[in-house]
């Protein structure tokens, strides 16, 4: 059926709708609107063109040269008008007007159209169309998130407001103020969704019941299936006071040192994370990122209830490495011209080695065994090359030693006057500026002095073990060193 739009004052003449323009050179004529696009709807986006087809009757009628035709839209009988931008018009009496709608157009299923003929000196406007059609500007056509992409936890009798997440123009529909939304809920994530009640059309939705929730942008008839403008699904769980909630981890245990995992729980009102029962300063979001081992849990305060999560043990996959033939404090002694063969061992599954001398990598030394000859500082870095790329460094020192000369390795402090103290040569005693250190087998320093007088152990030393072993380090003024052990026989 043809729809007629009369542009000015009209009279019924010979069974036709006509109008008379008060310009002497214009013949009385009628505009008949035939269609809006082929699909009968305006689904607009940036730069998209749309067509309205109309007839000018009779075919002998004409408008003055320079007349500009434009289309105007409205949902309230043109109390408020959406002004479109004319792009082109073709045809004689049957004309096709191409136009673009503004990005501020508010979507609706009940738009009407009218044609404006802008002449000089007067503009002539037709009555509104006798039919309605949907019109939307699709300013946002991507997926988006609500509630930070997280599930939510509420107290029984409490509520939470789900909201479209902010972002840039390309990541959030909040950048466009002319959009409306459809909020839906279901009892299962893949079940049938229905409108929330009361119906919500804004970017937020208050929720007081458990269930699954999502929203989508309402483009009405202009939402084809190929445009996915639906948010993530949020599961809202109700919990009473003290009800536990579960921590999720983005990475499985054990995590790699330097590659942290993010622990998270469902949304509540406020949070406090704990590590080994101690609160973590500043950890007050619903997620916490760490690569440190420990026992973690979070307290979620929902306002009317407080929920404690389960305890989540973060395990880190470090490696340990050791070097043979070392005693505390990792100093080895060799005589001039001698060398020391050391071997590194590690808990790494797939280790590689690099040896260093004086802080510089030794070229070609990438095996677990290394021969040290020069006096100085050495180290080896053992690297794990599996899923956790981590490393451990072990250091040791090599010093030129003193030839063994009458330094006893056994004493018997039983007050019999024989071998009761550790007696060493006179050249290492008080006045020689020689440093004497005695250490337990665990590396604890028992004695450090540059004024040794052959008087260790004193009567105050308490030997708790049977025949304990101690270690000594003698360092002369010219940095020659001697190391060995002392067995104490009681």
pLDDT tens figures, 182-221: 999 999 988 899 999 999 999 999 998 999 999 999 999 8
DSSP H helices, 216-307, are none
CATH of the structural domain 410-488, one choice from 2.60.40, 3.30.1120, 3.40.1000, 3.90.550: 2.60.40
Q: Which helix (H) or strand (E) holds 386?
A: none
Q: Which helix (H) or strand (E) holds 125?
A: strand 123-125
Confidence of residue 417 (pLDDT cuts 50, 70, 90): confident
Please give the pLDDT value at position 319. 65
Please give the pLDDT value at position 327. 42
Distance of CA 46 to the CA centre of its chain: 32
Q: How many CB atoms lie within 10 A of CB 101?
A: 23
| Nearest to 295, CA basis, from 282, 306, 305, 308 | 308
367-373: long-range pairs with CB below 8 Å, 24+: 368/343, 368/344, 369/341, 369/342, 369/343, 369/344, 370/341, 370/342, 370/343, 370/344, 371/339, 371/340, 371/341, 371/342, 372/332, 372/339, 372/340, 372/341, 372/342, 372/398, 373/338, 373/339, 373/340
pTM metric for this prediction = 0.48
Structure tokens at 300: 């979620």
| CATH 2.60.40.10 applies to domain 321-399 | yes
Across the range 170-182, mean pLDDT stands at: 90
| Nearest to 393, CA basis, from 379, 403, 406, 404 | 379
What is the distance in angstroms between the CA of the first residue and the CA of the last residue of the chain? 120
Encode pLDDT of 338-347 as tens digits: 677 788 877 7
Please give the pLDDT value at position 335. 61
Give the Cα separation of 356 and 291 in Å (integer). Answer: 28
Encode pLDDT of 432-463 as tens digits: 899 999 998 888 888 999 999 888 887 666 77
3 state DSSP class of 36: strand
Query: 248 - beta bridge partners?
Result: 264
For residues 89, 92, 95, 96, the Cα torsion angle rounded to the nearest 10 degrees is -40
CB 181 within 8 A of CB 218: yes
Q: How many CB atoms lie within 10 A of CB 11?
A: 11
Q: DSSP class of residue 126?
A: P
Residue 316 has pLDDT above 60, yes or no: yes
Question: Which residues, in sequence order, are CB contacts of 39 under 8 Å at separation 6+?
Answer: none
Give the lowest-confidence range in 51-55, 115-119, 186-190, 383-387.
383-387
Note whether 147-239 and 410-488 share their fold: yes
Q: How many CB atoms lie within 10 A of CB 282?
A: 8
| Nearest to 155, CA basis, from 294, 328, 307, 27 | 307
CATH topology of domain 248-314: Immunoglobulin-like (2.60.40)
Q: DSSP class of residue 429?
A: S
3 state DSSP class of 228: coil
Delimit the domains of the chain by residue range: 3-137, 147-239, 248-314, 321-399, 410-488
Secondary-structure class of domain 3-137 per CATH: mainly beta
CATH topology of domain 147-239: Immunoglobulin-like (2.60.40)
Residue 329 has pLDDT above 50, yes or no: no
Q: Angle at Cα 40 formed by Cα 35 and Cα 41, nearest 5°?
A: 125
Give the lowest-confidence range in 28-32, 303-307, 351-355, 398-402.
398-402
Query: 164 - beta bridge partners?
Result: 146
């Amino acid at each position: 059926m043809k729809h007629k739009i009369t542009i000015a004052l009209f009279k019924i003449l010979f069974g036709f709708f006509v109008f008379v323009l008060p310009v002497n050179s214009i013949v009385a004529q009628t505009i008949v609107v035939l269609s809006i696009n082929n699909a009968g709807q305006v689904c607009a986006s940036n730069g998209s063109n749309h067509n309205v087809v109309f007839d000018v009757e009779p075919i002998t009628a004409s408008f003055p040269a320079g007349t500009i035709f434009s289309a105007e839209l409205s949902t309230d009988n043109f109390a408020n008008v959406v002004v479109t931008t004319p792009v082109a018009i073709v045809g004689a009496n049957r004309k096709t007007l191409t136009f673009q709608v503004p990005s501020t157009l508010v979507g609706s299923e009940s738009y009407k159209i009218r044609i404006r003929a802008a002449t000089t000196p007067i503009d002539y406007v037709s009555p509104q169309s006798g039919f309605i059609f949907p019109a939307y500007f699709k300013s946002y056509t991507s997926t988006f998130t609500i509630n930070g992409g997280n599930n939510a936890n509420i107290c029984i009798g409490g509520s939470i407001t789900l909201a479209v997440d902010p972002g840039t123009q390309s990541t959030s529909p909040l950048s466009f103020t002319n959009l409306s939304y459809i909020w839906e809920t279901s009892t299962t994530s893949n079940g049938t969704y229905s409108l929330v009640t009361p119906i919500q059309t804004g970017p937020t939705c208050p929720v007081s019941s458990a269930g699954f929730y999502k929203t989508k942008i309402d483009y009405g008839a202009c939402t084809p299936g190929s445009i996915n403008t639906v948010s993530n699904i949020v599961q809202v769980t109700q919990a009473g006071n003290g009800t536990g909630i579960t921590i999720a981890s983005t990475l499985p245990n054990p995590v790699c040192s330097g590659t942290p995992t993010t622990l998270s729980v469902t949304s509540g009102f406020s949070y406090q994370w704990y590590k080994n029962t101690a609160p973590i300063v500043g950890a007050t979001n619903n997620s916490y990122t760490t690569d440190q081992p420990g026992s973690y849990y979070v307290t979620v305060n929902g306002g009317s209830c407080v929920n404690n999560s389960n305890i989540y043990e973060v395990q880190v996959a470090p490696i340990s490495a050791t070097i043979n033939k070392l005693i505390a404090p990792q100093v080895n002694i060799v005589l001039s011209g001698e060398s020391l063969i050391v071997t590194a061992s590690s808990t790494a599954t797939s280790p590689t080695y690099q040896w260093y001398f004086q802080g510089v990598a030794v070229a070609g030394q990438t095996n677990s065994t290394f021969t040290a000859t020069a006096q100085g500082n050495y180290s080896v870095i053992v690297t794990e090359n599996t899923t956790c790329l981590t490393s451990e460094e072990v250091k040791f020192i090599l010093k030129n030693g003193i030839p063994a000369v009458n330094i006893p390795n056994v004493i018997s402090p039983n007050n019999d006057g024989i071998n009761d103290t550790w007696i060493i040569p006179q050249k290492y005693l008080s006045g020689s500026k020689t440093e004497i250190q005695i250490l337990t087998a665990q590396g604890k320093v028992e004695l450090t002095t540059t004024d040794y007088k052959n008087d260790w152990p004193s009567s105050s030393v308490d030997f708790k073990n049977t025949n304990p072993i101690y270690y000594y380090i003698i360092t002369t003024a010219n940095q020659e060193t001697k190391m060995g052990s002392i067995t104490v026989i009681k």
